[in-house]
Amino acid sequence: MLKNTELEGLLLMAENSNGEALLELSDRFQKGIGGAERSEERAYSYARSAFAAGNMEAIARLADYYAKGRGGVEQNEEHARELLAEGEKLNSVRCLQRLAFNYMNGECGYEKDETKAIEYCTKIIAHPSDDANVKGYAYTCVGSVYEEGRIGAEKNLKKALTFYQKAAKVGYAFAYVLLGNQKRRLYLQEKAAITDMTNDVVTPDEREDIKNRTVKMRSMLADIEALYRQAETLAAKDADVPVSECAKAYLDEVAEDRRNLLVLEKKLSILDATNYDGETQIPDGPYKISFDDRPTEELTRSLSDLSARMPTVAKPESNPGYVEEDGYGSAEGKSIAWGRVLAFAAVCAAVSIFVAWLLSQAF
């Protein structure tokens, strides 16, 4: 394939009626990538030249333009179907992909038939072609059938993930979105588990469990973000706007997940800095540990206020640094306590001197 060839090199090869170069030029002008400005008319023209030069894969591009009336040709679905039938006889992998798509979605005059669509996807998977978009489409279609348990297939997430991973391996952008979605479902399950745990006041053991879960969740978010980033990168290279926008939307959700997780970690850090034992519970209301969707700055201020208002709950025997109700356990309280001791000692000394003077006067 000529994916990495410069545009000028492709144009030189096209002058010699190189069918592969002509089809690559059609792809580039159709999408506006690889140094070519988007032009469906030029894409159609190069596809016709590629077909004339013996490149059977160009049939799918011609059929697509007739099906939708693009590239300067009038819409003619019947002719499009004729071209796809011819391409199927010639074992064109792109024609197999268009047939799979048409049956999957009921387009170009084909009756929607998901079973036939998967049959074509199976043919594509067995085809020797290494076209990422075609092979990736077939893998993800089959994977979605196993994920949802459609058309008689038993629901099997493990099999679905295997097909999504195969699609990702060949460089299919949308496969990375699907893999990211699967990992994010696991993340949301962890979040739901913590939410259930924090519907009421938590014990020290439960709080430790939550802390461990947050470490795992932070790692999960990093993996999820990496998958969506890869989808965005591949989609940008291939001018796949829908996938690019989809990946960006999910990345925004991951950013929100990070903010909410940070909120939970801040609340946990406040509890770690607060005296606490298993016999006394933190009251309901503002002292609950939970996910929070308020803006970070507002939350930081409220958490600062919260730390100042956290109740004292530890007993002397369980925490030597406890704070008594009169405040003597704090640094300021200890200072006040020593002041009172010294004052009391001074009064005692003065009384002793006064008593000694009275006794001396009496005798």
267 and 305 both lie in a single domain: yes
Q: How far apart are the C-alpha atoms of 226 and 220, rounded to whole Å? A: 10
At 299 the pLDDT is 46
Residue 157, Cβ neighbours under 10 Å: how many?
14
The CATH number covering residue 104 comes to 1.25.40
At 4 the pLDDT is 79
Q: Of the candidates 290, 311, 332, which is a domain's last residue?
A: 311
Q: Which residue is associated with the tokens 């076209």? A: 131
Q: Answer whether residue 34 shows pLDDT above 60.
A: yes
At 276 the pLDDT is 46
Per the domain annotation, does 132 fall within a domain?
yes
- Contact (CB, 8 A) for 275 and 322: yes
At 208 the pLDDT is 83
178 and 167 both lie in a single domain: no
| Structure confidence by residue, pLDDT tens digits, 114-131 | 999 999 999 999 999 999
User: Residue 4: in which H helix or E strand, if any?
Assistant: none
133 and 229 both lie in a single domain: no
The DSSP letter of residue 15 is H
142 and 215 both lie in a single domain: no
| Structure confidence by residue, pLDDT tens digits, 221-252 | 999 999 999 999 999 999 999 999 999 999 99
Which domain covers residue 230, as residue numbers?
A: 174-311
Report residue 14 as tokens: 């096209």
pTM listed for this prediction: 0.75
| Structure confidence by residue, pLDDT tens digits, 301-353 | 544 554 444 433 333 343 333 333 333 334 444 444 445 545 555 555 554 55
Residue type, 69: G
Cβ-defined contacts of 277-283 (< 8 Å, 24+): 277/204, 277/313, 277/314, 277/315, 277/318, 277/319, 278/203, 278/204, 278/205, 279/315, 280/313, 280/314, 281/201, 281/313, 282/201, 282/202, 282/310, 282/311, 282/313, 283/201, 283/311
Q: How far apart are the C-alpha atoms of 88 and 102, rounded to whole Å? A: 14
Report residue 174 as tokens: 């949308």
The torsion angles phi and psi of 356, rounded to 5 degrees, stand at: -60, -40
229 and 306 both lie in a single domain: yes
Q: How many Cα atoms occupy the beta-carbon half-sphere of 5 within 13 Å? A: 19
User: Residue 98: in which H helix or E strand, if any?
Assistant: helix 93-105
At 313 the pLDDT is 35
| Structure confidence by residue, pLDDT tens digits, 177-192 | 999 999 999 999 999 8
Q: Answer whether residue 110 shows pLDDT above 50.
A: yes
DSSP string for 30-82? HHT-TTPPP-HHHHHHHHHHHHHTT-TTHHHHHHHHHHHT-TT----HHHHHH
Instruction: Work out the pLDDT band at 198, boundaries 50, 70, 90.
Output: confident
247 and 284 both lie in a single domain: yes
Per the domain annotation, does 150 fall within a domain?
yes
User: Residue 190: in which H helix or E strand, if any?
Assistant: helix 173-197
Rg over alpha carbons for the chain, rounded to the nearest Å, is 36
User: Residue 19: in which H helix or E strand, if any?
Assistant: helix 19-31
Q: How far apart are the C-alpha atoms of 321 and 297, rounded to whole Å? A: 31
What total number of domains does the chain contain?
2
159 and 186 both lie in a single domain: no
Q: How far apart are the C-alpha atoms of 310 and 293, rounded to whole Å? A: 21
Q: How far apart are the C-alpha atoms of 19 and 137, rounded to whole Å? A: 24
Q: How far apart are the C-alpha atoms of 350 and 27, rounded to whole Å? A: 103
For residue 7, what are the CA distances in angstroms to 3, 33, 34, 131, 258? 10, 10, 7, 19, 42
Q: Answer whether residue 278 shows pLDDT above 70.
A: no
Which residues, in sequence order, are CB contacts of 48 under 8 Å at separation 6+?
Answer: 58, 62
Q: Of the candidates 123, 142, 171, which is a domain's last residue?
A: 171
Q: Which residue is associated with the tokens 């506006």? A: 32
Report the range of poorest mean pLDDT among 75-84, 180-189, 278-287, 332-341: 278-287
183 and 307 both lie in a single domain: yes
Instruction: Work out the pLDDT band at 210, boundaries 50, 70, 90.
Output: confident
% of residues, the chain, pLDDT over 70 = 73
